[in-house]
Amino acid sequence: MWRLVGKGSRTMTCFHLAQSLFLASASASASHSSYTFISKPFHSFNNHLPQLSSVFLHPIANSATFAFCSKPGSELRTVSPKSMSNPDSISYLTQRQAAEIDETLMGPLGFSVDQLMELAGLSVAAAIAEVYKLSEHNRVLAICGPGNNGGDGLVAARHLHHFGYKPVICYPKRTPKPLYDGLVTQLESLSVPFISVEDLPLDLSEDFDIIVDAMFGFSYHGSPRPPFDGLVQMLVSLRNYDGTRQKTPAIVSVDIPSGWHVEEGDIGGEGIKPDMLVSLTAPKLCAKQFSGPHHFLGGRFVPPLIAEKYKLHLPSYSGTSMCVRIGKPPKIDVSALRENYISPEFLEEDVESDPINQFRKWFEEAVGAGLKEPNAMALSTAGKNGKVSSRMVLLKGFDENGFVWFTNYESRKAHELSENPHASLLFYWDGLNRQVRVEGSVQKVSEEESEQYFHSRPRGSQIGAIVSKQSTVVPGRNVLYELHKDLEEKYSDGSVIPKPKYWGGYRLKPELFEFWQGQKSRLHDRLSYSPEETNGGRVWKIERLAP
């Protein structure tokens, strides 16, 4: 994927931003705030590129493409996600164009060899982790060539190790330069094993779940020489088996499947057939022949100067994602989707006697695990007609008196609760293989409690509660924007925003709890709490339910 550009330099095909930009954008995304982080203006890269000297990129929205900007508001040429589902709408580079882009990146744009290699390897590791679950594909063989493509494979292996995978490196022709020596030292310090070609098993499928093909990039010419010709044939043979194997390793090629012509692709149709191709910067022409299920792009740094010159149409990266899928995901057999949960045992003798205390324990663990919005819960209600409706709301408080959330008293759920004041809550914490179901009666909280919470919210959210006549039909989003803008101006002096009478809280008083924890072979733990009278008092009865 790389080529040499002068002494000690390399070409770039990776993804992502310079470190300072990435940290700023990650901070903006992680905080979920409305703030924009703006870096200081760049000094000119050199006297020949004054148009690039004005501004470093400012991250804008989570779905925005991050890039170097020549002026405020300029952005990378992108195509809508809908059109990106068609791979033919994406730009593909010739070998000459790829080399020219690398020369520009490594020259006036100031990228360093180790920086680009680090970003490239990280993009490959991120793409692998997105598709191949650690629980099912943790044994990785990275076959690394003597050039920069091999360096990308070494970096990818290091990141995969930190992700929890178990990489093994085959690096038969080591590059005698400090950069590569350093990568080898880093891997050895992590006890990542290196294996010679002679010690590789004859059948790679017995020892590995993923094979990273990082042998040759787009600048390689001619046929592979020993020992890489034999290694390429080993990967080819994985797709030419007699059907007796239960499973073959997934092949992931970095930028170019090794042995392919950079423009004409798999000449003769007898080359490697990778399951995943991670194109870098932009796909090369040979990628049009890729027929595997997973094609990803990394290269989230392309400046407008390059995007405009080569008329690049590339997909947008979402949030802080390190890679983006090209084309539609493969067709999925929904009936075959399953997860074999691995969790600690959830036993009766270990649980709290009071379900509120047990919920608090699990909730604090969900927060401590860094799960996104652990207070999100599915609220199910039904009116007098018995038809059930569900939606996600946010828990805003809980104690021995129940679970509290806030909403519009004229919404659908509010109308249903007025007819049938009973509801069910469901919390799902995927990262911990847990869910909690709570059922009970519902009543409004006091006006004082609603007032107190309303004025604790950000002013924008307070105005949003006034603007939204929840569940009613609106002619368009612009109507909401205009109303919100008018109220922002009205209360721009910082005066108190009055809580609308149609907005407030509900409290569900629990009558039944169920705590669920996923286990192997679908033998999940399910413990229910239900109230019963004992010796004139009310206690909670704990029972195990069949999964």
Q: Tell whether 240 is in a known binding site.
A: no
d(CA 120, CA 156): 8
Helices (H), 132-171: 148-163
In 134-258, which ranges are continuous DSSP H helix? 148-163, 178-189, 228-237
213 is in an annotated binding site: yes
Does 121 show up as a binding residue in the annotation? Answer: no
Asked whether residue 148 is marked as a ligand-binding residue, the answer is yes
Instruction: Give SS3 for 112.
Output: coil
Q: Which two tokens stand for residue 75?
A: 């952005």
Tell me: is residue 471 an annotated ligand-binding position: no
DSSP output for 367-413: HHTT-S-TTEEEEEEE-TT--EEEEEEE--EEETTEEEEEEETTSHH
Is residue 325 within 8 A of residue 116, CB to CB? The reply is no
Q: Is 221 assigned to a binding site? A: yes
- Using left for φ > 0, alpha for ψ between -120 and 50, and beta otherwise, residue 491 falls in alpha
| Rounded to 5°, angle at Cα 466 from 64 and 484 | 45
Which residue out of 96, 239, 391, 522 is catalytically annotated? 522
CA distances from 545 to 161, 464, 514 (A): 39, 43, 9
Beta strand segments in 269-313, E: 276-280, 294-298
Question: DSSP code of 78?
Answer: B
Does the annotation place 217 within a ligand binding site? yes
Query: What is the crossing angle of helices 148-163 and 113-131, to 10°?
Result: 50
Is 255 annotated to bind a ligand? Reply is yes
Q: Tell me if 151 is assigned to a ligand binding site.
A: yes
Q: Please indicate if the annotation marks 333 as binding a ligand.
A: no
515 is in an annotated binding site: no
The strand pairing partners of 380, in sequence order, are: 390, 424
Distance CA(204)–CA(195), nearest Å, equals 13
CB 152 within 8 Å of CB 2: yes
Q: How far apart are CA 359 and CA 436, in angstroms?
A: 8
Q: How far apart are CA 271 and CA 278, in angstroms?
A: 17
Active-site residue flag, 522: yes
Euclidean distance between CA atoms 172 and 188, whole angstroms: 16
Q: Which residues are identified as catalytic?
A: 522
Annotated binding site: 148-152, 213, 217-223, 255, 258
Annotated binding site for (6S)-NADPHX: 148-152, 217-223, 255
Annotated binding site for K(+): 149, 213, 258
